[in-house]
A and B are shown apart, each in its own frame.
Chain A
Amino acid sequence: MIFPIVRTALISLRRDRGALALSFILPIAFFTIFAVIFGGRRDSTPKVSLLVADEDHSAASQRLIKGLEREGSLSVKRRPAAKQGVEQPDYTAATAEAAVKAGSAPVALIIPRGFGENPISFGRADPNRPTIQLLKDSSDMVAPQVVAGMLQKVAMTSMPDIMAEQGSKYMDEYAGGFTPEQRKRIDEGLEALRQRESAESNGQPAAPADSNAGMPIAVASRDVVGENKNNPMVSFYAAAIGVMFLLFTASSAGGSLLDEAESGTLDRVLSSRVTMGALLAGKLCFCSLLAFAQLILMFIWAWLVFKIDFPSHIPGFVVMGLSTAFAVGAFGMLLASICRTRAQLGPLSTLVILIMSSIGGSMFPRFLMPEAMQKAGLLTINAWAIDGFTKVFWRDEPVSHLWPQVLVLLAVGVVLCAIARRLARRWEYS
């Protein structure tokens, strides 16, 4: 008796393409996406982008920067990318801070004037000594930690002579001075370190560094983005989760077209004065308004419960919200017009939306993904919407700075609407 039951179920599954896709394609697709993001090859691991502004221009600061550049986990940029073939000037403290605020990189190091005179700090902090500034965007919780750690490591490995020299000074000061013999040996050791560093700078192989040598250099960390915000990731997730569910809502609302086709009301509507164009426009308005209302609810909730600053960002929210709602509404119309029945729509929308959401950053931030994946994410509505909302709520950027995201979302909406209109011709006549 069991065999006929299994056979009947198998036949039903084989003929239900949607269920087949959900059973076999979606898990494979998800596994692939997660494997690429978290378990990919080493060379695809994302590097932390680091901006460096050298205001000291000393030998010590240059050695420090070169040391940072040698680190495989960092992508150090001393100046912005060339514009139209014209080289840009090196970062200054001000331009580096502006670049972090604009989202060009999550971290910037400012090496202050006078750093080279006394680069290493031990014991009591000297308030008069120049300190390296680490400017960070706290929405990226990983990059600043990586840079802070790498900075200490590089200080130890790229400036061992300076560290030893500074150490001996402290020893001299706090331990009552060295004997002439001790002083002689220390000077010889320092000279050997200098020679080794000099040889390394000339491209000769370095001897293995002593992992125990050296001491930390002083770094002052400062949030330049989101410094006054209560919870760095809430506004991100309000947008990220919001957009994903907007897509589900829009596909479901768009499915009302299929309901109407199946029940016969579509025929009745189209036999009245309502044209297919007007019908689609009406459905699109409904889907978009529903999506916008969902976003309003999501951000008001985030404001009331998680204290994001909603009231002072209303203009940016409205611009991004309407653009996103339009694109999402058009997406819902497209899915509905592709499918023949409601039964087809369910699995297809689940498949497409979950994949879009994972690549587009609705499930985890795109900056954690490999570079190729981040670029692939730009093919999704999620990525552009999240980027826009992040600009509004995290970077406090003015509405005028939202034009790339708004333009892309509106263009995507128009294209999807045009395709949906073309596909909807099958409902017009038979």
Chain B
Amino acid sequence: MASAPVASIPSLPFPLRIEGLVKRFGDLTAVNGITLELKSGECLGLLGPNGAGKSTLIRSIVGRVVPDRGTVSVLGERADSAGARMMLGWVPQELALYPKLTCRENLESFGEYHGLRRGALKTAVAWCLDWAALTDRAQEPVKNLSGGMKRRLNMAAGLIHRPKVILMDEPTVGVDPQSRNRIFEMIEKLRGEGISMIYTTHYMEEAERLCDRIAIIDHGRVIALGTRDELVRNAFASRSEVLARFASVDDSVAAWVKQRGGLYENGMAQFTIEHATEIAGLLDAASRAGHELADISLRKPNLESVFLHLTGRELRD
């Protein structure tokens, strides 16, 4: 008996797809041929130092920067189409709020700019206030809010139209640790709802906590992409890091570290070893070279290590 034909299931478009994006400002190439795909329900972290091109990439996606080359599509639609704009939410790095308006009035304004009216607007505003834990401050003018509250409202304003894809551009800049934790909870709540998200940061711990995959960006390029473990494994395999601080800081120390295949920055040397037993040899060699060690530690490589390994610079440079 012939089997019944199996209906082919059309593959769903990526929530966000960036192909060969290039943006130049004069002689500076801010984004240099980036290609990325955001999977459904995924939180993709863009990790890189200030000036790496993260914000330019985000602004290109939301249409605030016109790329010189490349395409961006949101759920299969061109990013500059009206449909894509409704599916895309953007939380800018700046506090883009009206300071004299209350929290509710701000949300209502941005909701109306997205075409929400009456019942839908009311529901969306209530959801945003609840999500940002600002319901009891709804009537407070923004200028009277604390920094953390403003940040949360800034995020809520970007989500007022309940987009399917969200771009968060360093939402925790300048907030205290307590407010940062609250913001993490808000983001985790969104993740629980299956929202697809791009999250830019130069805080390694944020990327490790929130993101499924991480794209490390430097000089406008994606220099590594994968899960946290993949990135570490690809960079270090099973090796570990030895961090050594020397009693004196001079050029001879830097030269010695470099000669031993390590990285030296800000008085701290970093070596990669396969086995912990190699530490003894390192100590012995330093002693013979006349460099006194102040302290030494062994650690498993993290994203910071990966970035340093790939670029020779620290994330916060």
Q: What is A's interface to B at a CB cutoff of 8 Å? A: 263-265, 267-274, 429-430
Contact = CB atoms under 8 A, between A and B. Distances in A.
A269 B157 CA distance: 11
A271 B85 contact: yes
- SS class, residues of chain B in contact with chain A: loop
B66 A429 contact: yes
12 contacts: A264-B94, A265-B96, A268-B90, A268-B96, A270-B64, A271-B62, A272-B161, A273-B86, A273-B115, A274-B113, A430-B59, A430-B66
B194 interface: no
Interface string B104-129: 00000010011100000000000000
A379 B284 CA distance: 88
Interface in B73-111: 82, 85-86, 88, 90, 92, 94-99, 110
Interface of B: 59, 62-66, 82, 85-86, 88, 90, 92, 94-99, 110, 113-115, 157-158, 161
- Give 4 closest A-B pairs by Cβ, nearest first: A264-B94, A264-B96, A272-B113, A268-B96
A264 B98 CA distance: 10
B142 to A, nearest CB: 11
Contacts of A269: 110, 113
A264 B64 contact: no
B65 A263 contact: no
B166 to A, nearest CB: 12
Contacts of B96: 263-265, 267-268
Contacts of B65: 429-430
B181 to A, nearest CB: 25
B95 A263 contact: yes
Contact of B98 (A265, A270, A271, A272): A265
A267 B90 CA distance: 10
Nearest to A273: B115
Contact of B113 (A263, A273, A429, A430): A273
Contacts of A265: 96-98
A274 B64 CA distance: 13
A265 B158 CA distance: 11
A274 B94 CA distance: 19
Contact of B64 (A263, A271, A273): A271
Given A272-B114, A273-B113, A267 B64 contact: yes
Nearest to A256: B98
A268 B88 CA distance: 12
A430 B158 CA distance: 21
Nearest to B61: A271
B249 to A, nearest CB: 37
A429 B64 contact: yes
